[in-house]
Structure 1
Amino acid sequence: MTTVNIDIVSDIACPWCAIGYARLERAMKELEDEMAFNIEWHAFELNPDPSGDGEPILPALSRKYGRGEDEMRANQSQMMAIAHGLGLNFEKLQERHTRNTFDAHRLVKWAGELGKQTEMKMACFEAYFGRAENISDASVLVKCAESIGLDGDEARAVLDSDRYADVVREDEARYQQAGVSAVPAYIVNQQYLISGAQEPDALVRAFREIASES
């Protein structure tokens, strides 16, 4: 059995990161008799500005990409269809607001020490894309922690402190310096970079190729 280590650089506010992981899960399932996978999540902020209350996602995307809101709506609808096919809840994708995810990343790091890093990430995706909740709000993040069986008071204590802030900043700086400028990005065995939300069959081929070279 070959062991494959995957460092995933992603943001909770990135729909393609949720889609990418769902596709990765399918690839890992197909390879479960050949390979064992270790996953570690790393922080990236699409919206690093913590000030303000966010803005509706469609005009924000329209301004960012210099395209009309109708085109952005169509793009988001396409993502919703892809997500639905993968079993993801993207029901409120077009109703969300832009959000800063720094505190959410801190809580993901905390959950990682308790063996629930991926579960915390998935709970945040569900809150943001499925329910359009404010994932920069401490109460929402505490509920996410509780939904995966973690202690809400402990989660609140982390958020009320500056714990894991340095870890998140170091994470972001390390991968930016390594040239990661878009997410999701997968660093396989600390050597190979796979960019974007690749289809499961493409990931299966990549992992088999990497395993044959190791």
Structure 2
Amino acid sequence: MTTQPLLIDIVSDVMCPWCIIGYRQLARALEETGVPHEIHWHPFELNPEMPAEGQNMREHIVEKYGATPEQSEQNRAQMTALGAQLGFDFRFTEGFRMHNTFVAHQLLHWADQQGRKHDLKMALFTAHFTDRRDLSDNTVLADVAGEIGLDRDEALAVMQDQRFAQVVREQEQFWINQGITGVPAVVLDRKHLVTGAQGVENYSAILRQVTQAEG
């Protein structure tokens, strides 16, 4: 097995329930296999054209994917059960809303400069799916940043002046150009693309295969 940490790039959006499920599964697999690793998060917008007020999640799923209300309900139940197994609390409601996350990705880029991107990413998943907070609201985003010990005033300033808008757009486009059209997308060692939430066992098997091949 290789002694160098395995580089893991994760392209995701905090609006994506399968992204937190997939990450938690991957984290369990990393723990079980003991593979040394280094995780880097990258931006992706599930809903780049979504208006500021967002959209009801059930309506959004029906409109975007053609799912029936019954299928949407079954999907939520499945995600909630999987989340519970992985220690993540999904609290879907009838009024649960999806939002655009371009500004949230800018805030994550800022947090990355302070070595806190992963922490903020986890906090935003919880803020959205567990606490049902509106991540299209700059005040809410600044609050979440402040709650994990980042400078709330600086967080607001970053979002207001859009200083990282261009670099985030470029990063998003880079991964689109690599053929990423959906998330979660996990790239191992810049060579092996794993899409979707694979499950702990599958992730473990993939990690072993990749590290043995590299070793």
Quote the offset at 1:67 in angstroms: 2.6
Quote the offset at 1:51 in angstroms: 2.8
Quote the offset at 1:163 in angstroms: 1.8
Bigger drift between 71-80 and 88-97 goes to 88-97
Aligned counterparts of 1:51 and 1:58: Cα–Cα separation in 2: 16
Quote the offset at 1:186 in angstroms: 0.7
Structure 2 residue 172 is the aligned partner of structure 1 residue 172: yes
Aligned counterparts of 1:101 and 1:94: Cα–Cα separation in 2: 21
Aligned counterparts of 2:15 and 2:75: Cα–Cα separation in 1: 16
Q: Which has the higher contact order (CA 8 A, sep 6+)?
A: 2
Quote the offset at 1:31 in angstroms: 2.4
CA RMSD between the two structures: 1.4
**Distance change (3 Å), C-alpha of 1:49 and 1:89:** same
CA contact (8 A) 2:22 2:198 kept: yes
> What's the counterpart of residue 26 of structure 1?
28
> What's the counterpart of residue 162 of structure 1?
162
> What's the counterpart of residue 85 of structure 2?
85
> What's the counterpart of residue 9 of structure 1?
11
Bigger drift between 128-137 and 61-70 goes to 61-70
What amino acid sits opposite 1:108 in the alignment? Answer: L
TM-score, with length taken from structure 2: 0.94
> What's the counterpart of residue 185 of structure 2?
185
**Distance change (3 Å), C-alpha of 1:182 and 1:93:** farther
> What's the counterpart of residue 103 of structure 1?
103
Aligned counterparts of 1:3 and 1:59: Cα–Cα separation in 2: 42
CA contact (8 A) 1:93 1:129 kept: no
Alignment gaps of 5+ in structure 2: none
Aligned counterparts of 1:121 and 1:70: Cα–Cα separation in 2: 30
Identity, in percent, stands at 38
Aligned counterparts of 2:123 and 2:148: Cα–Cα separation in 1: 7
Q: Secondary structure at 2:197's aligned position in 1?
A: coil
TM-score, with length taken from structure 1: 0.94
Quote the offset at 1:208 in angstroms: 1.5
Aligned counterparts of 1:164 and 1:172: Cα–Cα separation in 2: 12
Alignment gaps of 5+ in structure 1: none
Aligned counterparts of 2:5 and 2:131: Cα–Cα separation in 1: 36
Q: Secondary structure at 1:131's aligned position in 2?
A: coil
> What's the counterpart of residue 127 of structure 1?
127
Q: Secondary structure at 2:87's aligned position in 1?
A: coil
Aligned counterparts of 2:59 and 2:75: Cα–Cα separation in 1: 13
